[in-house]
Amino acid sequence: MTRQPLLRRGPLMVMALLLVVTAMSLGPTPSSAAGADWWDPVARPAPDSQINVSGEPFRGTDAQGEVRGFVDAHNHIMANEAFGGRLICGKPFSAAGVAAALKDCPEHYPDGSLALFDFITNGGDGKHDPDGWPTFKDWPAHDSLTHQQNYYAWVERAWRGGQRVLVNDLVTNGVICSVYPFKDRSCDEMTSIRLQAKLTYDMQDYIDAMYGGPGKGWFRIVTDSAQAREVARQGKLAVVLGVETSEPFGCKQVLDIAQCDKADIDAGLDELYDLGVRSMFLCHKFDNALCGVRFDEGGLGTAINVGQFLSTGTFWQTEKCTGPQHDNPIGGAAAPGAEKELPAGVKVPSYAADAQCNKRGLTDLGEYAVRGLMQRKMMLEIDHMGVKATGRALDIFEAESYPGVISSHSWMDLNWTERVYRLGGFIAQYMHGSEQFGAEAARTKALRDKYDVGYGYGTDMNGVGGWPAPRGADAPNPVRYPFRSTDGSAVLDRQTTGQRTWDINTDGAAHYGLVPDWIEDVRLVAGQGVVDDLFRGAESYLDTWGASERHRAGVNLAKGSPASASSSESGIFTSYAPGRAVDGDRGTRWASDWSDDQWLRVDLGSTRTVGRVTLDWERAYAKAYRVEVSADGADWRSVWSTTTGDGGLDTALFPAVPARYVRVHALDRGTDWGYSLYEVGVHGG
């Protein structure tokens, strides 16, 4: 049974209610003294962070009925529970209060000497002042990758500043967990995902308790797009659950042998769906049994390649790319700390500069998982998938006219941009500095206008990625405090927590509460037009989600229909007859003789409306071919053609026409063999 997150209660709810009672007995905090405004809590825990925003959060939609507001398509609120529980220090909330939540990892005391991941990611010796509350001398900071950035009150400030959708990606990596010496729990990825999901619901309960009970808080976990739109109509924050792991459902591969099967994938997808998850990555950092990844670069890439070997027994393998898309160059930079973990005599391989694509694409199990996501109306995150895997996933979505594809934080090859928009998908850019963010937004502006879509950002906070550095107090067009939110309803001043006050000009994007300040910086540097597109982001994200929910698999008019061909290859033990291409079984195929001019014809039985034909090629594909239609099987006309076919799964779209017969007329072979099709699909317009 699907979980009902908005009604769920738990033990933490009781603790949170006790917290509210205690806070009320001590007297209301300044933010809730009046107690009459719906956006202020009945009683906030004391002491606690300030929000430093005044004004009523805007509600509802614009004059065209569209949701207004920003979308963060990629965040990791609960990453402190990932990687064994000690890599990201501090919590997004605690029933024991802010001092317990914003506290460093124990091994970081007294001076950060054992902050090993800080040393790896930030250079130097990793030393820092470990004290969080109340001084916050050294963290959170834009370049501190191991300290909490998503404290609930900071997320509240982002909501008050105009954000209306937040995707909380439940994240972990079993290999990083296993090699990191400090941990509180097992490294099983699904165990961590379950815990992070539970704690996200607990955070909702915690915030609800401040506002007087279930459903009254601003942090609302949603499980469908209509629910998200209603939350936005109320002026609150719709929180969507996603998943970003390296080996989901236990689907790792060891020496290229899958450690999961289709039953594991079905059980895993069903469990995630019941937890409320509606989008996910199928691979991340390491090749797994589902797909090959988009590489990391430089020394980090070398370190992750070592992790890939330790997890799977294989290093990344590359090949020459077949199109303009390519994966990141691996490079040859050393990573001594990681490389010393390799067995004696084993070295990271070198890679040819002209072979920049991951050889591993979308596996058969990966295709099964992609189709499983479609069946459950879930969305696929294509960032981190290698271009070979991404191309096949997009082929599948195009063949089914399925819009549920997301690129949430700039890890997609940019040449896919229009293909994603054409499907109805959504794109967000990583939270780069304002100059870089503006430049990339300008590069894709024409496509956003063409497809009439908004834009998003992916903060990736708590995601060990790094965030915008300060431009400096003397930089041109600094953010001047206080400033108004994009919609004009809120006034934001510098954000204060404890004894520390942050300024985007001199501190950069140190934590989530500075997201509105960063947006103001983007406005000043890149222009109002970029922010206007971002303000339409929530609507476009919900459009993609809603279209995915409404999608219905089209009827394949060709399935089981009579088929004939110009020729058929003969086999002693296997049939390659024309009917094999319309039997609904991707394990069978039609194969022609080994010559250029060949055709496969399907009789639909009666005149039907036809507007889309899908062709699933075996390795023997057509480089040039036409899709032709006929009313009588004698007079043919071409409705679609190509001279640049590259095999795989092709979708021919054309204005819908009446036809009884459909013919694939192959003219030029892409290989020395003939032509071979696993399956031909014919669909209405």
- At 465-479, the pLDDT tens digits run 899 999 998 999 999
Burial class of residue 231, CB neighbours in 10 A (0-12, 13-18, 19+): buried
pLDDT number for residue 123: 63
Question: Is the pTM higher than 0.85?
Answer: yes
Helix (H, G, I), strand (E, B) or coil at 241: strand
- In contact, 433 and 459? CB cutoff 8 Å: no
DSSP three-state, residue 356: coil
Q: Quick check: 566 pLDDT over 80? A: yes
How many helices (H) and strands (E) are present in the chain, helices listed first? 19, 25
Pairing type for strands 426-430 and 405-407 reads: parallel
Per CATH, 70-292+360-550 and 563-683 having the same topology is answered no
Check residue 31 and give its pLDDT: 40
Q: Which of 4-18, 103-117, 310-324, 563-577 has the lowest mean pLDDT?
A: 4-18
For residue 240, what are its two tokens? Answer: 């969507």
Flag whether pLDDT at 8 surpasses 80.
no
pLDDT value for 335: 86
Indicate the pairing of strand 253-254 with strand 257-258: antiparallel
Angle, helices 189-210 vs 11-25, to 10°: value is: 30
**Euclidean distance between CA atoms 554 and 160, whole angstroms:** 42
HSE-CB for 449 with a 13 A CA cutoff: 8
Strands 590-591 and 676-683: antiparallel
- Residue 658's alpha-carbon distances to 565, 613, 685, in angstroms, are 22, 13, 10
pLDDT (0 to 100) of residue 3:
36
Specify which residues 396 forms β-bridges with: none
β-pairing, 237-245 vs 277-281, is parallel
Q: What pLDDT does residue 20 have?
A: 33
What mean pLDDT value characterizes the chain? 92
For residues 580 and 589, is the Cβ–Cβ distance under 8 A?
A: yes
Q: Give tens-digit pLDDT for 176-195.
A: 888 888 999 999 999 999 99
At 587 the pLDDT is 92
Residue 672 CA to residue 571 CA, distance in Å, equals 18
> Where are the chain's structural domains?
70-292+360-550, 563-683
Q: Residue 176 has what pLDDT?
A: 86
Rounded Cα gap, residues 528 and 549, in angstroms: 33
- Tell which residue, 601, 530, 541, has the closest CA to residue 567: 601
pLDDT, position 34: 41
Q: What is the reported pLDDT for 15?
A: 36
- Residue 346 pLDDT exceeds 60: yes
Q: How far is CA 454 from CA 70, 317, 534, 536, in A?
A: 9, 37, 6, 5
Q: Which tokens hold the place of 92?
A: 């997004």
Residue 654's pLDDT band (boundaries 50, 70, 90)?
Answer: very high
What's the CA dihedral at 206, 211, 212, 217 to 10 degrees? -70
- Tokens 């501090």 correspond to 90
- Quote the CA–CA distance of 649 and 667 in Å, as a whole number: 18
Query: At residue 66, does pLDDT exceed 80?
Result: yes
Give dist(CA 427, CA 417) in Å, integer.
8
In whole angstroms, what is the distance from residue 388 CA to residue 527 CA?
36
Q: Using alpha carbons, select from 634, 654, 642 the residue that is nearest to residue 617.
A: 642
**Looking at residue 656, what DSSP letter applies?**
E
Q: Are 487 and 161 in contact (CB under 8 A)?
A: no
Residues in the chain: 685
Banded pLDDT at 33 (limits 50, 70, 90): very low
Alpha carbon separation from 497 to 130, 198, 262, 446, 597 (Å, rounded): 16, 27, 49, 41, 73
The CATH class, in words, for 70-292+360-550 is alpha beta
pLDDT, one tens digit per residue, over 600-652 is 999 999 999 999 999 999 999 999 999 999 999 999 999 999 999 999 999 99
Helix, strand, coil content of the chain in percent (nearest 5): 30, 20, 45
Percent of the chain with pLDDT over 90: 85
Residue 120 pLDDT:
67
Neighbours of 540 (CB within 10 A): 26
- The full DSSP string for 375-421 is HTT-EEE-TTB-HHHHHHHHHHHHHHT---EEE-SS-S-GGGHHHHH
**pLDDT tens-digit series, residues 196-248:** 999 999 999 999 999 999 999 999 999 999 999 999 999 999 999 999 999 99
pLDDT band at 386 (very low <50, low <70, confident <90, very high): very high
The mean pLDDT of 74-83, rounded to a whole number, is 97
Q: What type of residue is 140?
A: P
pLDDT in tens, 487-526: 999 999 999 999 999 999 999 999 999 999 999 999 999 9
- Strand pairing partners for 599? 665
pLDDT of residue 11: 39
Pairing of strands 495-497, 500-502: antiparallel
Amino acid at 411: W
Residue with tokens 């960032």: 383
Alpha helices in 424-576 (DSSP H): 434-443, 445-451, 504-507, 515-526, 528-535, 537-550
Which CATH code for domain 563-683?
Answer: 2.60.120.260
Tokens of 634: 């004698």
Place of tokens 């990736």: 460
Confidence of residue 25 (pLDDT cuts 50, 70, 90): very low
**CA gap 240, 170 in Å, rounded:** 10
Tokens of 624: 């040039």
CB 293 within 8 A of CB 286: yes
3-state DSSP assignment of residue 578 = helix
Asked if residues 365 and 261 have their Cβ atoms less than 8 Å apart, the reply is yes
CA distance 43 to 28: 6
The position carrying tokens 């902050």 is 115
Q: How far apart are the first and last CA of the chain?
A: 36
Q: Name the DSSP letter for residue 295.
A: P
Inter-CA distances, 401 with 612, 641, 653, Å: 10, 19, 10
pLDDT digits (tens, 9 = 90+) for 92-128: 999 999 999 999 999 999 998 888 877 766 666 778 9
Please state the rounded mean pLDDT for residues 652-677. 97
Q: What is the pLDDT of residue 60?
A: 85
Structure tokens at 264: 């594991």
Q: Are 532 and 540 in contact (CB under 8 A)?
A: no
Give the pLDDT confidence score for residue 2 in this predicted structure: 36
- What is d(CA 225, CA 235) in angstroms, rounded to the nearest whole number? 15
Task: Output the pLDDT for position 24.
Answer: 30
Q: At what angle do helices 189-210 and 262-275 cross, to 10 degrees?
A: 10
